[in-house]
Amino acid sequence: VGYSFLVDAERFGTIMPFAVGALAAGMALFPALAMVAVWFGRMRGLARVFLLAAAWLASEWARAWAFTGFPWNLIGSVWAFSDAMLQFASVAGVWGLSVATLLAAAAPSCLAGDGPRRRWPRVVVLSLLVPGALWGFGAQRLAAAPEPSANVVPGILLRIVQPNIAQSLKWEADLRAKHVAEQMALSDGPGSQGVTDVIWSETAIPFLLPDSTQILEAVARIVPKGGLLLAGAPRRAQLGGETRLWNSLFAINDQGRVVAVYDKRHLVPFGEYMPLRSILRLAKLTEGGGDFSSGEGGRTLRLPGLPDVSVLICYEAIFPGRVVDPGSDAKWLLNITNDGWFGASSGPYQHFAAARLRAVEEGLPLVRAANTGISAVIDGYGRILAHLALNRAGVIDAPLPKSLDGRTPFSRLGDWSVLILLIATFSVALIVRRIP
């Protein structure tokens, strides 16, 4: 987060320490409340471990919703290095992984006090057998999964473009046309003959659409015959007598015609709009003086030649259970983002880990186009089938994986899974509280 204030250090560098400090202090309130609940619970031993898991889960869920929500780096994300461990997210989401992690990590506290020898079995069960059981479940699930190469949508070959344009240069007036030309060259480069559709990142077209008809005509030249270019760009329109702006994805055909638009619904506070603007007279971080508007309507786009898709712009991908609309028949997730704001920090990797978890939770493949990386194709099991590393320019040519047969338990339950986990962990705490 601090890095984003240094993109335009002359304007925002001086407020960076205060903004980062305030964010850290605000986020710290959630685990602090969880600890207060554990303290007042007056439980000991194994009961306290389960109470901690319940309280921390509640605090993470609250953080995902309060003040528009910020579920970044939830505890369960620590398992992103292991395909097998991620599979439990299909059952209980990242929330279930968080509970299992807390139980395993906090179990050694049972050894405190008198009689540690009697408590060793409990520590072994929680610290070793719980993660071991989840790994076993995940390994079995992956062993039964179809081979990725044989589980693709026929007749579709996607080209994902990662131009690696520095955020400090992205909106320079004399460079914007050059940035578009660079992406066109990558799109139409070697190996493009078999490509059916091209995908660019968030705000890849740094011009207002659909106003910029010349840009639409230009980019149409690289759209495969009968295919689409899916690209991010700001959108401007008159609504209710005022000019409104949206952070959008455009589906553009080979005639330069816009056939579908998705407007980002979950905006970044202070980045895309200023909350309490009448009080806080500060400029937002992103380009332009006005605020972006929140999009309306369903996420699912029906596109010619492609399966129905649920679009996620930037950090919309970090919200568990909120990446597909209820009743949606989306067959894949499309995440376009510009993580150039985070530079070569941990931010892009954390964002990528969250996006992988959404694929496992929903059982849907996820295609990710990121300006500076990490771009990737991920199947419904969270397996990375192709990717481009951070801060590299290039393309990914890959087929579109099929979605899993049937919905995952988490995709059916959504936030109800949190309630089930809370009831289960708190009930166990009450049951074992009398065990010495």
DSSP per-residue letters across 198-214: EE--TT-S-S-BTT-HH
pLDDT given at position 436: 59
Cis before 108? omega within 30: no
Give per-residue pLDDT as tens, 379-417: 999 999 999 999 999 999 999 999 998 889 999 998 899
pTM given for the model: 0.90
How far apart are alpha carbons 251 and 366 in whole angstroms? Answer: 17
Catalytic residue (choose from 170, 264, 331, 402): 264
User: Which one is catalytic: 202, 272, 316, 362?
Assistant: 202
The pLDDT value recorded for residue 291 is 80
Q: What are phi and psi of 385, to 5 degrees?
A: -90, -30
Q: Which helix (H) or strand (E) holds 9?
A: helix 9-12
Number of residues that make up the chain: 436
pLDDT at 294: 79
Taking a C-beta distance cutoff of 8 angstroms, is the pair 195, 157 a contact? yes
Its sign, for the CA torsion 321, 324, 326, 327, is negative
Angle in degrees, 0-180, between the axes of helices 89-106 and 416-432, rounded to the nearest 10: 30
pLDDT (tens digit, 0 to 9) for every residue of the chain, 436 residues total? 887 777 777 777 787 888 888 889 999 999 999 999 999 998 888 889 999 999 999 999 999 998 888 999 999 999 999 999 999 999 999 999 999 999 999 988 877 665 556 667 777 878 888 999 999 999 999 999 999 988 999 999 999 999 999 988 888 899 999 999 999 999 999 989 999 999 999 999 999 988 888 999 999 999 999 999 999 999 988 777 788 889 999 999 999 999 999 999 878 777 666 665 555 555 545 555 568 787 876 678 999 999 999 999 998 999 999 999 887 889 999 999 998 888 888 899 999 999 999 999 999 999 999 999 899 999 999 999 999 999 999 999 999 999 998 889 999 998 899 999 999 999 989 988 876 5
For the chain, state the CA radius of gyration: 23
For residue 111, the model assigns a pLDDT of 74
DSSP assignment, residue 295?
Answer: P
Active site residue 147: no
Distances (CA, A) of 327 to 253, 310, 323: 28, 12, 12
Q: Which residue in this structure is represented by tokens 């953080």?
A: 63
Torsion sign (Cα): 31, 91, 101, 86? negative
Q: Is the Cβ–Cβ distance between 348 and 323 less than 8 Å?
A: no
202 catalytically annotated:
yes
pLDDT computed for residue 288 by the predictor: 53
CA distance 403 to 151: 9
Catalytic residue among 314, 316, 361, 362: 314
Coil, helix or strand for 79? Answer: helix
Residues whose CB is less than 8 angstroms from the CB of residue 181 and which lie 6 or more positions away in sequence, other chains included: none
